[in-house]
Amino acid sequence: MLLDGLEDEGTASPGGTGGATMTVTAEALAEGLYARVKGDLVSRPRTPLSTYRIQLHKGFNFQQAREIVPYLARLGVSDLYASPYLKATPGSTHGYDCTDHQQLNPEVGSAEDHAALCAALREQGMGQLLDVVPNHMGIERDNRLWFDVLENGPSSLYAKFFDIDWAPVKEELRDKVLLPILGDQYGIVLERGELKLSFKEGSFYLHYYDHLLPVAPRQYARILRHGLERLEARLGAEHPCMVELLSILTAIEHLPARTEVERAKVIERHREKEVIKRRLGAVVAASPELGAYIEENLRVFNGEPGNPRSFDLLDAVLSSSSYRLAHWRVAGEEINYRRFFDINGLAAIREEDPDVFQEAHATIFRWLREGCVTGLRIDHPDGLFDPTAYFLDLQEHYFMERARALFLAEHGEGDTRWPGVETALKARWRAEVTEQPDSPLRKALYVVVEKIQGGRERIPEAWAVHGTTGYRFANAVSGIFVQTDAEDSLSETYERFVGEKADFAELVYQKKLLIMRVSMASEINVLAHELNRISEMNRRTRDFTLNALRRALVEFIALFPVYRTYVDGWRPELDARDVQYIEWTIQRAKERNATTNASIFDFLRDILLRRYPEHTNERERAVMLRFAMKLQQVTGPVMAKGLEDTVFYVYNRLVSLNEVGGEPERFGVRATTFHLRNQERAEHWPASQLTSSTHDTKRSEDVRARLNVLTEVPEEWRKRVKKWARLTEKLVTDLPSGPAPSPNDVYLFFQTVVGAWPMGPSHTPEERTEFQRRVREYMGKAIKEAKVRTSWTNPDSAYDDAVARFVDACFDPEKGGAFLEDVREFKGHIERAGQHNALGQLLMKLASPGVADTYQGCELWDLSLVDPDNRRPVDFALRARLLDELDRDAAKDRPGLCSRLTANLDDGRAKLYVLAEALRLRQRRQDLFRSGGYRALDLSGPRASAAVAFAREQGDTVIVACAPRYTWSALESPEGLSGAYGSTFLDLPEAYAGMMFRDVFTGRQVRPERGPGGVVLPLGPLLAEFPVVLLERSTG
C-alpha cells in the first residue's frame, strides 16, 4: 500500500527514472533518518530538573524576562516556565485568550525580543517550558478566524475550526452563531441606536461599543441599493463609477450563499468577496459622490432613537447575518458554540481536526524545532475531544519536525523526495509507539498537563505525557501540615458560627445542579436532544421522553465523582477506572431517584460504555460514540464551576484546604499517604511537576501554611472567632435578605485576614491601606463566586456594598480598632509556626520525586490571594541582590548565616536560602533527582509524628530530607524547637551505618548513631541552627 501510494504520486528523485525509483530511495532515506532522529532524542532527552513560572504581559515582557535569566540560573533553575505568549486579546494579563496562533503577542515583545530571550536561556544552559492553550481562543477582539466565521457562517474557511453547532435546537439559530454580547434585549439595544454601521476601505462593519463585527457580504447590496436612483441622478447612468458599482452589485448577488459548505463554493465565496471589497474600496476612493452616498445611507440604516420603525432596515441587515445578537443573559440557555467553562469570550476549537491542529501548533513546533522551546505545558486538556489522541499527535509532530529539519539541512527545500520520506517516517513511528507502549518515542517531547485529579484518580497510562502540573502534590504537601486530630473541633466551631451543619458531598451535588441550570443549560439541552435522537433509534428505548432523558443526564453529571472519563473509539478496551466511575455514578443515580425508571440510567450507561444494542449499524454506533465523547467535554466544566469556582467559596471550614485539585472534605493528608504518592510518582511519573503556588491557586503556599497552624490551636481559634464576631457585629448590615455579610462570609473574612496579613509585627499606614484594598477586592470576588447572596450574573448591589463597607469598617482604627489589634496579636501568635510550615513544605517539594516548580516571586514570603492578587509585580532586583548576599555570607560562615536567618524569619531570606541550596543540589545530583529511588523514613521518640522524612537514593548518592510539623507547641515551649525534638530520632536503614552526611544548609558533618532500635540520627541537634534538614551523603 505504501509503495503504491508513493508510486501514484508520480514524482522522481533527482536523477531517477520514475516513481518506483523514488519509492525505494524514500524508504531508504526514511529508515536512516528515523534511526538518527530516534537516537538523538533518546540519547539527549530534555527533561527539566526545576522550573520557574513567569507571567508575561504588557507589564512584564520578553526583555524583562531576559534580564532575570542570569538570576534564575544562579538560583539553580533549569528551565524557564512561561505563560502563553501567542497573540492575545489586547490588554490580556494572562495569555489564555490567544487570538492568532501565527503571531507573538506584540504587547510582550517582538520576534527579535523573543529570540534574545531564547539566546539568553541557551547561554545559561536553560530550557523553556511553554504554556500552550489547545482548547480555546479569545474571540472578543482581533481574532481573524472568528471574524471570518461571523462574516461567512458555515461557508467560512474556518467554520470547522470552532466547535459550533450549526443545527442547534433553536431553529432560529440554524446556520448562525449566537453572540450574547448585548447589555439589554436586542430590540431595546437596536432602538436605542447602540448598534451602528460603518464603512471603511471597501468593507461594512457593525459597531457595538468595543465590539467590531462584520456585515454579511450579501447585505452590502441592501445598503448600496437603498436609494440608488439618487446616486444615478448625481453621477449619471453611464458614469464609470456608477457602472462599476452596478457591476459590483451583480457580483455581490452572485456570491455563493453563507450556508454553502462544498469546498469549491467555500473557496469561491472567499475569493470573490475579497475581490468585491477591493473593487468597492477603489471605486469609493475614486468617487467622493459615492462616498457621500454611502454615508447618507448609513445614517438612514443606523436609525433614529425615538422612531422604532427607522431601525427596520438595520434589523433586516442583521437578521440576514451569520450571527444572532442577544442579551448576555441568554448565553447560558441558548449559546451554540462550546466555550471554556462558561466564558463567552473564549470559544473552543476542534483540535481533533488535523487542519485545526496544524494551524494551532505550527508556530509552537517551529520554536521546538529551533530549540527555543524545549517542553510544553498543556492547559485544560479535559476540554479536548480526545486528549489521548491529542498527546500522541504532539509527540508524532515533534518527531516529524526534528526529522524534517534534518532532511532539509542535508538535502535542501527543493528535494522532491520529502513527501515519500514523510509518509514512511509516520508509518514507522506509529508502528513503534503502537506495538511498544514503553517506546521512548511516546514521550520524546517533555509534556505536562494541567489535569486536576479527584480522589484516587490517576493519569491514564495511555497518555503520552510526563505528568501533571502538580496540583495534587500541592494539596498533599500542604495537607501533611494539617493536624488531622483537630477535625472535629474545627468542624464544630465552623458549624456553630454559620448556624448550620455542612454536608460537603451534598453541597457539591447542589452546586453542580446550579451550574447546569444557570450557566450551562445550553450544553445540557444539546446533549439531551442528542440523547433523545439516539433513543429513537431503537424501539426498546424510543418511549423515553425528552424530559426524562434530560433529568437522567443532569443527575449523572451532578453525581459524577471526577472531572471526566476518556472514552474514545479507537482503543479496543476502555480504561478500567472509567468503567468504575460510570458504573458507580449510574448506581448512585438510581439510588437517589427511586421513582425513576432504572432502565433509563442503564440506557445512558450502555452508551457511555460502548455497550451498543445488537444490530446497531456503524452510523448509529458513530452517533452514540460522539455523544459519549461530547458528554465528556461537559462533565469537566460542570465540576470545575461547581466545585472550584463555587463550593470552594461556600464551604469555609478551613480554607487552606480549598485549593485547586483539593478535597476539603478530607481533613489533611497522613504522612503514609504522602509517601505512597511520592513512591508512585518516582516509579511511574518521575518528571511530573511539583508545585505549591501557581497563577491559579486560591491562596499562595505561605497563606495556606499559616492557616494550617489553626489545626494546632483549635480551641484558641474558637475563642478568637467568637470574640471577633462580637467586636464586628455592629459593622454588619441588616438587609431584608439577611445579615450582610452572612456568618459564612464573615468566617471566610476572618481566615483571609489572618492568613494573608503581611509578615512582621508592624507595618506602615500605606502597607495597611494596600492590604485593606486587597482584602476588599478579594471578598468582592469571593461572595460573587459563592453564588449564594450575589453573583456575577445576578449581582445584588446592596449585599456587595454592605460587604465592602464591612471590610473597610473592620480596617478603620476607630470602628474596627479593637478587632484589628486582636487579629494582629493572634497572627503574631501563630506566625512563626506558619513560617516553619512554609519552609517544611518547600523542602518537601524540592526533595520529592518530580520537577520542582517555583511560581514567580515565591522565593520570598508571598501572602497572595486568588487572581488577580497573585499576579502582582515581582521585585526581581531585590531577590537577585538578596541571593548574592546569601551566597557571600554562606561562603564565609554557613552555620552563622543559618542562625541569623532562623532568628529573623520575617524577612523571607530563609526561604530564598532553602530554595537556592536545594535547587543547586538538584543540579549537582541530576541522576538522583531524575530517576533516584524513594524511601520513606520513620521517626521514633515523643515527637515522632511531628515530622516527615524520606531519603532519595541513586547508587552511592543519598540525600535525606526531614521537615518538622505541628511545631506551634514546640516553638512556644521554653526549650525551643531543638529542645522539643531532643529525644526524637530519625530512623535510618542499616545500610546508612557508617555513612557521613553533610547538612546542605549549615554545612555541618553528621554521622548516624546506633541506638536501641537501629541506626538513627538525633533530630534535636539537626534543628539547632535551622528549621529544616537536608542531608547529602558526604564523599570527602
pLDDT of residue 1: 27
**Of residues 972, 968, 1011, the one with CA closest to residue 992:** 1011
With a cut of 70, which residues of the chain have pLDDT below it? Answer: 1-24, 1036
Query: Quick one: pLDDT at residue 19?
Result: 41
d(CA 634, CA 516): 10
275 vs 202: CA distance, rounded Å: 10
Q: Which residues contact 257 (CB under 8 A, 6 or more apart)?
A: 155, 218
Do residues 1000 and 929 touch, judged by C-beta distance below 8 A? no
pLDDT at 21: 43
Distance CA 702, CA 861 (A): 7
pLDDT at residue 956 in the model: 95
Q: What would the pLDDT profile of 500-511 be if each residue is shown by its tens digit?
A: 998 999 999 999
Find where cell 471589497 sits.
277
d(CA 270, CA 265): 8
**DSSP letters spanning 198-236:** EEETTEEEEEETTEEEEPPTTHHHHHHHTTHHHHHHHH-
pTM of the full structure: 0.95
Helix (H) or strand (E) holding 780: helix 765-786
Model pLDDT, residue 1036? 60
C-alpha cell at 605: 450507561
DSSP bridge pairs for 935: 951
* The predicted structure's pLDDT at residue 13: 39
CA gap 1022, 970 in Å, rounded: 15
| Beta strand ranges found along 801-956 (DSSP E) | 851-855, 933-937, 939-940, 947-954
Q: Would you state the pLDDT for residue 237? A: 93
> CA angle 684-690-691, nearest 5°?
155
The half-sphere exposure of 935 on its side-chain side, counting CA atoms within 13 A, is: 19
- Position 771 scores a pLDDT of 98
What CA–CA distance (Å, rounded) separates 722 from 739? 17
